[in-house]
Amino acid sequence: MWDVLKVRALVREEGLKQSMRVFNWKELKILHGTGEYLMFDNRNKRNLTRRKALSLLGVGAGSIAVQAAFPTRFAIGGDAKIKIGTLLPYSGTYTWLGESITNSFEQALSSHGGKLGGRNFELIKVDSEAKPPKAAGLTNKLIDQEKVDFIVGPVHSGVAMAMTKIAREENMMTVIPNAGANQVTGPLCSPNVFRTSFSNWQPGHPMGKVLLEEGKNTAVLCYWSYGAGKQSAEGFKDSFVQGGGKVLKEIGIPFPKVEFQAALTEIAAIKPDAVYVFFAGAGAVKFVKDWAAAGLKDKIELVGPGFLTEGVTQAQGDAAEGIRTTLHYADTLDNAANRKFRAAYKRAFGKEADVYGVQGFDAGQLIRAGVDSVRGDVSAQYDMIAAMERAVIDSPRGKWVFSPAHNPVQNFYLREVRGGVNEVVRIAMENLADPARGCRA
Ligand code: BEZ
């Protein structure tokens, strides 16, 4: 951990005479307000605003040089709309997820007279198609052509990897309302990137513990073999295998394929105590139906992170009944924010809300907390980030706060599908934080 003394010692040692050096964000935060030295991450200099550069400089002698070096991007005038680009799937396997996030995000933003920090805003919606190869081009388009102030997205971990690398480089304010890629709040963690959902490690981790507590010691894992599926399996194994459980087989299925027959035949032959799966959206509908049709429903316990039954129980029908999952949300959570949220969602969209909507809603609440704190001056990025870091989000999932890596610290619930509803059974793990391996925040 850095502290002021350490940084001052470093400054002496380095004989810091020039106004710019490459340091990390932690140092910048420490020095903010001391007025003694200017340090900042050189990667971000292109987007460092004049206001921010001046506030970081205090009364330092280097201020003239820095004023000349940085564009006055903030000087867009109080009347200009705040621009928010959503990079979400509006087609393909994850369409439901993207729409659910967008619906609730817009609902959160349209409260308070439809203004953010006193300013109007507009959304620029871009279809990510949940296709990682398209992510860099679409992210660059939002930044360079649309000149957005925030990016909200994505759903898919592969898209998140490409998007986050650019967002870090460009110092673009980014709120991730679903994609769980561990790296985003791990080695790629960044002051300007926040996540209102989960890391892939988180929802799987409690399920290993739940199974062991019930004496279920053998498992087969089956998942879409891209980042999210693999990391979800790792989260599960971190509790299950370390607690003495045995993984008999791991079966990867290429995303977004839904040909599950060979996997089901293999699982039936292995006969584990439980099968842990990662599928979501249309893939989850197909897997759960195929599982029941193969006659496995009453023979082997099917479990997973809650995406297996989120937003899809109507489509899954009877096949979903009794499936137990772990997640940071359940339909029946008994708190005022959840009751209000679900009723408003049903009224506006004529269908039940789900976890994706909750994450989108919280992304809206987070952006509001940040923009309100600077009264609409989104160029005051340091102060905005500080307010977002401090935010206590009054979410339908229950109140939560950010970890230092900008990932939610939150409860994980054991849930069961009863009558098409993901009901709470109990808290499986309380205030679970992602390990944030590799984050130097
Ligand atoms: C992901 O790719 O990170 C993801 C997609 C759907 C549900 C959960 C995670």
Residues 384-419: pLDDT tens digits? 999 999 999 999 999 999 999 999 999 999 999 999
Residues 257-283: pLDDT tens digits? 999 999 999 999 999 999 999 999 999
**Residue 307 pLDDT:** 98
Q: Which of 59-68, 82-91, 113-122, 149-158 has the lowest mean pLDDT?
A: 59-68
Nearest residue to 439 via CA among 406, 411, 409: 406
Beta bridge partners, 222, equal 251, 277
**Residue 422 pLDDT:** 98
Is residue 441 a part of any domain in this protein? no
Contact yes or no for 86/126 (Cβ under 8 A): yes
Q: What is the CA(217)–ligand 1 centre distance, in A? A: 26
Indicate the number of domains in the chain: 3
Q: What is the CA(308)–ligand 1 centre distance, in A? A: 11
Probe ligand 1: pick from 159, 161, 198, 200, max atoms within 8 Å of CB? 200
Q: What is the CA(406)–ligand 1 centre distance, in A? A: 18
**Residue 79 pLDDT:** 73
| Cα 246 from Cα 249, distance rounded (Å) | 9
| Domain's final residue, options 278, 301, 327 | 327
226 CA: nearest ligand 1 atom: 2
Phi, psi of 193 (to 5 degrees): -115, 120
**Residue 18 pLDDT:** 29
**Higher pLDDT residue, 68 or 176?**
176
**Residue 441 pLDDT:** 75
Q: What is the CA(416)–ligand 1 centre distance, in A? A: 20
307 CA: nearest ligand 1 atom: 7
Helix (H, G, I), strand (E, B) or coil at 78: coil
**Average of per-residue pLDDT across 106-131:** 96
Nearest residue to 230 via CA among 305, 287, 127, 282: 305
Contact yes or no for 135/162 (Cβ under 8 A): yes
Q: What is the CA(228)–ligand 1 centre distance, in A? A: 6
**Residue 64 pLDDT:** 28
Is residue 171 a part of any domain in this protein? yes
| Cα 151 from Cα 163, distance rounded (Å) | 9
Same domain, 267 and 375: no
| Cα 370 from Cα 383, distance rounded (Å) | 8
Is residue 420 a part of any domain in this protein? no
**Higher pLDDT residue, 278 or 46?**
278
Domain that holds residue 143: 82-198+332-406
Probe ligand 1: pick from 128, 156, 198, max atoms within 8 Å of CB? 156
Same domain, 368 and 281: no
Report the mean per-residue pLDDT for the chain: 87
Give the burial class of 40: count Cβ atoms within 10 A of its Cβ; 0-12 exposed, 13-18 middle, 19 or more buried. Answer: buried
Same domain, 93 and 133: yes
DSSP 289-315: HHHHHTT-TTTSEEEEEGGGTTTTHHH
Contact yes or no for 171/44 (Cβ under 8 A): yes
Is residue 419 a part of any domain in this protein? no
Is residue 421 a part of any domain in this protein? no
DSSP 243-291: TT-EEEEEEEE-TT----HHHHHHHHHH--SEEEEE--HHHHHHHHHHH
Is residue 144 a part of any domain in this protein? yes
Same domain, 212 and 275: yes
Same domain, 112 and 142: yes
Residues 224-247: pLDDT tens digits? 999 999 999 999 999 999 999 999
Probe ligand 1: pick from 100, 178, 183, 197, max atoms within 8 Å of CB? 178
Same domain, 362 and 313: no
For atom 2 of ligand 1, which residue has the closest CA? 156
Beta-strand runs (E) in 279-420: 301-305, 324-327, 393-395, 398-402, 408-418
Instruction: Provide residues with CB under 6 Å of ligand 1.
Output: 155-157, 178-181, 200, 228, 280, 307
Neighbouring residues of 103: CB distance < 8 A, sequence distance ≥ 6 = 345, 348, 349, 357, 360
Q: What is the CA(184)–ligand 1 centre distance, in A? A: 13
Same domain, 86 and 182: yes
Phi, psi of 313 (to 5 degrees): -65, -30
**Residue 41 pLDDT:** 40
Same domain, 241 and 143: no
Is residue 108 a part of any domain in this protein? yes
Residue 26 has pLDDT above 60, yes or no: no
Residues 342-401: pLDDT tens digits? 999 999 999 999 999 999 999 999 999 999 999 999 999 999 999 999 999 999 999 999
181 CA: nearest ligand 1 atom: 3
Beta bridge partners, 414, equal 326, 426
305 CA: nearest ligand 1 atom: 8
For atom 5 of ligand 1, which residue has the closest CA? 156
Q: How many CB atoms lie within 10 A of CB 295?
A: 10
Q: What is the CA(72)–ligand 1 centre distance, in A? A: 37
281 CA: nearest ligand 1 atom: 6
Q: What is the CA(291)–ligand 1 centre distance, in A? A: 21
Probe ligand 1: pick from 230, 277, 307, max atoms within 8 Å of CB? 307
Query: Tokens for 266?
Result: 């293999």
**Average of per-residue pLDDT across 51-67:** 36
Same domain, 63 and 142: no
Q: What is the CA(119)–ligand 1 centre distance, in A? A: 32
Same domain, 98 and 59: no
For atom 6 of ligand 1, which residue has the closest CA? 280
**Residue 291 pLDDT:** 98
Question: Rounded to 5, what percent of the chain is helix, strand, coil?
Answer: 45, 20, 35
Contact yes or no for 275/301 (Cβ under 8 A): yes
Q: What is the CA(242)–ligand 1 centre distance, in A? A: 25
| Domain's final residue, options 47, 71, 95 | 71
Residues 144-203: pLDDT tens digits? 999 999 999 999 999 999 999 999 999 999 999 999 999 999 999 999 999 999 999 999
Q: What is the CA(30)–ligand 1 centre distance, in A? A: 35
97 CA: nearest ligand 1 atom: 6
- Provide, rounded to the nearest whole percent, the portion of the chain with pLDDT above 90: 81
What is the CATH number for 272?
A: 3.40.50.2300
Q: What is the CA(94)–ligand 1 centre distance, in A? A: 9
**Residue 78 pLDDT:** 54
**Average of per-residue pLDDT across 118-136:** 98
Residues 8-24: pLDDT tens digits? 334 444 443 322 333 34
Q: What is the CA(157)–ligand 1 centre distance, in A? A: 6
Residues 293-347: pLDDT tens digits? 999 999 999 999 999 999 999 999 999 999 999 999 999 999 999 999 999 999 9
Same domain, 181 and 214: no
156 CA: nearest ligand 1 atom: 2
Which pairing describes strands 193-195 and 173-176: parallel, antiparallel, or unpaired?
Answer: parallel
Same domain, 339 and 353: yes
232 CA: nearest ligand 1 atom: 9
Is residue 273 a part of any domain in this protein? yes
180 CA: nearest ligand 1 atom: 3
Which pairing describes strands 82-88 and 150-152: parallel, antiparallel, or unpaired?
Answer: parallel
94 CA: nearest ligand 1 atom: 6
| Domain's final residue, options 71, 98, 119 | 71
